[in-house]
Amino acid sequence: MFEDLIRGWDGEETLVHYDAPTDTWMFICIHSTLLGPAAGGCRMKTYESTDDALRDCMRLAGGMTLKNAVGGLPMGGGKSVIAVSEVPPPGSERRAEIVRRFGMMVGSLKGSYWSGPDMNTSSADMDEIYRVAPYTFGRSPALGGSGD
């Protein structure tokens, strides 16, 4: 149950969003902003349950806190998960719509979380997020990023 997972987690902030137009659950977990804005990739995946998706996001966000700190980066740790019933193919309009709508969620945080590519996401997806929110890593070189 979401409430138990969130209350028991040692992170700072959890965003849970059900996007009705795309029938998609979206999660952003900010584990730590002690060293700077939270940063971590966005995973698009099918899960057995929404609880599993949230649990994965929390686990990965904690790992990003450690990874960014060990790397000496001025960033905290965060992660995001787009939980889909089926991963839409790259280049499809459905995928672009899901990713743009997720981008609005990222934008609502006003820079406290920066997203990058992860499992089943790419620089093309980061470009879609960038169209609605500038807080992305791994964009295509055409949009000022480093690519995949």
User: In sequence order, which residues have a C-beta less than 8 Å from that of residue 54 and are 6 or more positions away?
Assistant: 2, 5, 6, 14, 16, 27, 29, 81
Question: CA 123 to CA 146: how far, in whole Å?
Answer: 8
Q: Which amino acid is at 110?
A: K
The DSSP element (H or E) to which 127 belongs, if any, is helix 123-130
Q: Are 130 and 103 in contact (CB under 8 A)?
A: yes
Residues serving a catalytic function are 79
